[in-house]
Structure formats: structure tokens, C-alpha cells
Amino acid sequence: MGINFKMWGTALSTLVKMDSKEEWDKLDVVSKWLIATRSAVTVVTIYSGIIAALLAWRDGVFAWLPWLVTTLGLFLAHGANNLLNDYTDFSRGVDVDYYFRTQYGVHPLVQKFWSKKTQIRWFLVTGALAFAAGVYALFYTDFSPAVIGLFAFGALMVLFYTWPLKYLGLGELSIFLIWGPILVAGVYTVLARGWTDASWLVALAGVPFGLSVVSINIGKHIDKLEADKAKGVGTMTVRIGEKASRYVNIAALLLIYLVIIYLVFVPMYFTPVMLIVLLAGKRLLLAVKTLLKPRPEKAPEGYAYWPTWFAAVCFYHNRMFGGLLILGLIADTLLRIFASGFWPLR
């Protein structure tokens, strides 16, 4: 069993499908972990960490080691959440009978690639590593109350997302908060060693990416609406309906850009270079156009991402928007550092 670097890249960029246990058994440990934790999705945590790092660099509080440890810990925590999510849904009888989750990527429990005991073992090891990173962050910040509060909130969301939050229609809100303002402000607060006067604007700066992440989640829940109804999973979409959810998602996507424009022209927290994110407009329009119509009954000819439909187009938008957001932040940070009078912060 050699190291399969190619599979690492594949697992980080797309949800891997695999039917053969023999093929699974030949994979190295890292490949299995990346696939089982759905790292193509969990990589959004790295994006949030990079956003926080650039804002911290701009404010003169960035440090490499605490950033690396904290961001890796959060990435591991996201992976642990996905392992627990699959374990819980499988144990509750949700991820069975060709349920949506089993169609778009490997599910080691459903496909009998490993046992429930193994799944829990991987969750505990992953969670322990994430916890260790959190302990490091607490010591680094001298147990800052703000860091303790943000980490505690995040841990509660990780533990209770699968149940009961997702079943109460609160899963979408928790995902927006975690991968937007909470995670971005949390990493920044670790680097700043506590809450600062800039932290509220940092949290607001995390809102656009959080909205882009939750748009994927809402899209997924619309895609699997009927399956969730049948399983008694009370997502927001189950509670407010398919059409209303599509329009909520459109509003979330548009709000992404309105918040960035606000941060450029009102508090002037960003320089106009951040408007580079508007280059994702073509993918935004594609997402909005797709969301204006109900999901087709079956996959269009040649469509490779079924059963995801709305989730896929929102994921497609997120990737380009996230990349442009980080590119814009790099340019914005350089301008703030080397041409501070160009666009003064009010």
C-alpha cells in the first residue's frame, strides 16, 4: 500500500465515488481519511482560515505557527464533524436505502468499507487532534475569554449539527455562522491574542464567505428535499418548502456582494480592489438562473454531478468566489501596508 498523492489531490478537489472494497483497501490512510471526511468540502475551512490570516497580516498581528496549528485544528474539527454526521445518520437509519448522501460520494459505513467501530475510532482520533490544536490556541492566547467563547460555540455546533440542529431547521444558520463570522473572527482573535476593536469588522468581513458556504448547504437540502421528508429530517427546506428555499438561497448569494460593497464604501474596511470578486458574476448569474427554476426530475444528458443540482452550481460559484476573495484580500492587504493613505479606514 503506497502513498497515493494523486488521490490526495482528487479527494481535496472532488467528492470521490468508489464501489469496490478491494480498491478502498488498497488506499493509504491519508487518502481514506480525505475521502471519508469529504475533504473536497472541508477545504472551505482552510479558505476561512486564509481570510483570517490575511486580515491579521494587514493589522500586524499575524504569526505563522499559531495560524497553522489553529487552521489545521479547525480543518480536523470539520472532518470530525463529517465523520460523526455519517455515523449518526447511518445509526439512525437515515443513510440507507440509496439515500442522497450515499449517491454523491463514498460512504464507508453504507458500502461496508469499514465498521461502525472503525468510524468512531477515526472520529475520536481526528477529534483528539483538533482538541489538541484548540488547547494550544488557548495557551497561546493566555486563555482569552473571547477565544474560549468562540471555540466553545464552535464545538457545540460541531457536536449538535447532525442532531438536533439539522432536524430543527437550524443547520443552515449554524453553518453560516461557523464558516463565516465565527471561524474568521475566531482565527483572527487567536492571532490577536484576544478580542480587539477591529474584531467586529473582521467578523463582518467573514459574512460573505459564510454565505457562499451556506448556499451550498441550502442547495444540497433542496436537492434532497423528498428524501429528507421521508426520513423525517427537518431541515429549513423541509420546513419552508422548495420554492421558498430557492429564493432564500438567491438572497444569500446576492447578499455576499452587497456586504463586500458595503465594506468598501461605508466603513472603508476594504479598498476598492476587493471588487475583483465581481469577476465571479458569471457564476453568480448561473447559480441564480438555476435557482429560479425547480430541480429537473432526472439528470440532463451528459451531466456528471447528479444527484446534486443546486448544490453543484453553488459549489461551482463558491470555488471561484472564494479564490477571488483571497486574491482580492492579498492585494487589499498589500495596499493597506504599503499605500495606507490610498483608502483610509473610517
- Structure confidence at residue 138 (pLDDT): 94
CB atoms within 10 A of CB 40: 19
CA–chain centroid gap for 233, Å, is: 21
DSSP per residue over 125-176, as a string? HHHHHHHHHHHHHHHHTTS-HHHHHHHHHHHHHHHHTTTTGGGGT-HHHHHH
Q: Are 301 and 294 in contact (CB under 8 A)?
A: no
How many angstroms separate the CA atoms of 192 and 280, rounded?
31
How many angstroms separate the CA atoms of 226 and 32, rounded?
30
Domains of the chain: 15-338 (1.10.600)
- Structure confidence at residue 1 (pLDDT): 57
User: Helix, strand, or coil here: 294?
Assistant: coil
Give, in order, the Cα–Cα distances in Å from 163 to each of 104, 107, 149, 194, 232: 22, 19, 21, 31, 12
Give, in order, the Cα–Cα distances in Å from 85 to each of 2, 171, 225: 29, 12, 18
Give, in order, the Cα–Cα distances in Å from 167 to each of 42, 228, 343: 21, 10, 45
Residue 107 sits at φ, ψ, to 5 deg, of -125, 95
List the chain pLDDT tens, one digit each, 346 residues: 578 788 888 878 777 777 778 888 888 899 899 888 888 878 889 999 999 999 999 889 999 999 999 999 999 998 998 898 888 878 877 666 555 555 666 878 887 888 899 999 999 999 999 999 999 999 999 999 999 998 888 778 777 877 778 788 888 998 899 889 999 999 999 999 999 988 999 999 999 999 999 999 999 999 989 888 888 888 899 999 999 999 999 999 999 999 999 999 998 899 999 999 999 999 999 999 999 999 998 889 888 888 889 999 999 999 899 999 999 999 999 988 888 777 776 6
Please list the alpha-helical segments (H only) found in 61-115. 64-91
